[in-house]
Amino acid sequence: MTQDARVELPAPMETLHKEAVMETAPHEDKVKDGSTREEMDPWNPPYPPCAPGPPVADMNVHIRLAQEWLAQKRAILATSRATKIITPDRTPEWVNVALFKTLPRLTPILEKDSHRRFLSLFECNGQGNDITPETFDNIIVQNALQCAKVALKGRAPELNGFRANPNYMTQYGYFPLHRAAEMFSVEMIELLLRHGASANLSTAGPAVVEGLLLLHVAVENTCLHKYLEDSLFHDQMRQDCSVADVKYVYKLVHLLCLPELKIFLDTVRLLAKHTDNLLDQLWIYIKDGNIAHTAVLLLAAQEHIRTGTCHKSSKVNSKLDGFAIITSDIVHKNTLQSEACENIMDSNQPSKINVNNATLLSLIDLISRAGADLDSYIRAHPKVPYVMHVSHSEVLERASLILKEHGYCRTGGRIDIGNLCPYENVLSNEDLRAKSATEVSHHAAKEEGPIKKISRGWELKYARRSFFPY
């Protein structure tokens, strides 16, 4: 894969199409003096205008009309929040400008994940700095879990009842879970899901690649992992399966078992569990011949594919094994393509088709048989793999043993993944101190007992910056 293929987000309850965004978007922003805190809450839908009272009416008539309007407004608000209706970001531009000016103070608070200082800053800034989509996006980028929890609950007095909407669309066309998936923050994803975020929302708008589910973001960015880029042939990562063979499949599966890929597969696994019609998403990668993407999704989501929960919303019998369904579809597709090529009398094309599908079928069969044991081994890796003093050769030997137990890699040939190493100098001095303290604590825990609580936050930074070029 090249860097151009990465999924990078800009600094109805299902897919919200661009047309729907345009229809529900406001015609113009409110001016600063005319905006209210309630109007700027991105959770709320646009309210109906207050009807002017008759000019000759007495005060009681005006009061009654105002009360009727407030009752109508409350009813709309209650319905919106109860059904989690998604509306596009309608935050006035001046509010986002004010947030930008606040970032030098906000960012250090989020890096420390100090929810008390976050609330204090929020209260001091007063009107115009509600938990807007941009504010919440910054919380997710810094993986500030405590601040995110406070923002999602909205119970703190400093918030005056306002809270972050886990299903908003930002002005750039993506949702909170898209950002969390890009950050590979499993804890943030779990937090958003607990507060009602939907995993079946797609990007929309000119600022992003349209139609991307959260699962797409996680899978496609996982395939940009430095170890995959360095060890696999680049043309095999981005071209169709005709340039790959079974040895390539073996190497790919071994690489995915390395502890440095755990958090990425954990993210894909979690999102796959909550994605409707998972087989349809898998078939997109199979149809396009993206073998690395197919392997990532197959291995991470093998449990859901195997049990049939991946197609619970489709017309397919949910008791069927998804591996069997995909295998049958590939065989059927291969038959149709072979017949078509025979009709046009192209003797070379059928062999290419057979090679493509043979490689895919080998991958699917391998993960169908050995996937459960491979997945269990991957899950057993620690959350902080950088303190796991196990060499890559030991991990590869264990993965090879699992495959041999299921009838693969019987030749005994060694899988050569090359000399893999992360990007260097990716942490600040403060993060380096936290990393060193964690390593010491893990080492001491083997002899002295439980691990002491240490400043958190560096692990996710280290994982992303060590293996991604951006």
17, two tokens: 């199409």
What's 259-294 look like in SS3?
HHHHHHHHHHHHHHHCCCCHHHHHHHHHHCCCHHHH
Q: What is the pLDDT of residues 291-339, one digit of tens each?
A: 999 999 999 999 999 876 555 444 445 557 888 888 888 887 766 665 5
Q: Is the pLDDT of residue 33 over 80?
A: no
What is the average pLDDT value for the chain, to the nearest integer? 76
pLDDT for res 229: 87
| Range name among 20-29, 89-98, 115-124, 257-266 with the lowest pLDDT average | 20-29
pLDDT for res 187: 94
Question: What length is written for the chain?
Answer: 470
pLDDT for res 99: 86
Q: Which of 128-142, 267-281, 420-434 has the highest mean pLDDT?
A: 267-281
Q: What is the pLDDT of residues 201-222, one digit of tens each?
A: 999 888 889 999 999 999 999 9
The contacts of residue 409 (CB under 8 Å, 6+ apart) are 250, 400, 403, 415
Contact 179, 137 (CB under 8 A): yes
Q: Is the pLDDT of residue 348 over 70?
A: no
Q: Is the pLDDT of residue 445 over 60?
A: no
More confident residue, 353 or 97: 97
Query: From CA 430, how far away is CA 437, in angstroms rounded?
Result: 11
pLDDT for res 190: 97
pLDDT for res 420: 86
Backbone dihedral region of 211: left (phi > 0), alpha (psi from -120 to 50 degrees) or beta?
left
How sure is the predictor about 137, in pLDDT bands with cuts at 50, 70 and 90?
Answer: very high
Average pLDDT in the 387-416 region?
A: 81
Q: What is the pLDDT of residues 167-190, one digit of tens each?
A: 888 889 999 999 999 999 999 999
pLDDT for res 171: 87
pLDDT for res 456: 54
Q: What is the pLDDT of residues 271-298, one digit of tens each?
A: 999 999 999 999 999 988 889 999 999 9
pLDDT for res 429: 65
Q: Is the pLDDT of residue 446 over 80?
A: no
CA distances from 245 to 220, 242, 328, 346 (A): 21, 8, 21, 23
pLDDT for res 336: 60
Query: From CA 7, how far away is CA 278, in angstroms rounded?
Result: 19
Cβ neighbours of 449 (radius 10 Å): 8
pLDDT for res 327: 87
pLDDT for res 230: 87
Q: What is the pLDDT of residues 62-109, one digit of tens each?
A: 788 888 888 887 777 656 654 465 667 777 788 888 888 889 999 999
Percent of the chain with pLDDT over 70: 67
Phi first, then psi: what are they for 169, rounded to 5°?
-105, 130
Query: From CA 282, how far away is CA 351, in angstroms rounded?
Result: 24
Tokens 């996710």 correspond to what residue? 460
Q: Is the pLDDT of residue 431 over 90?
A: no
More confident residue, 268 or 164: 268
pLDDT for res 118: 92
Average pLDDT in the 413-430 region?
A: 75
| Range name among 122-126, 137-141, 219-223 with the lowest pLDDT average | 122-126
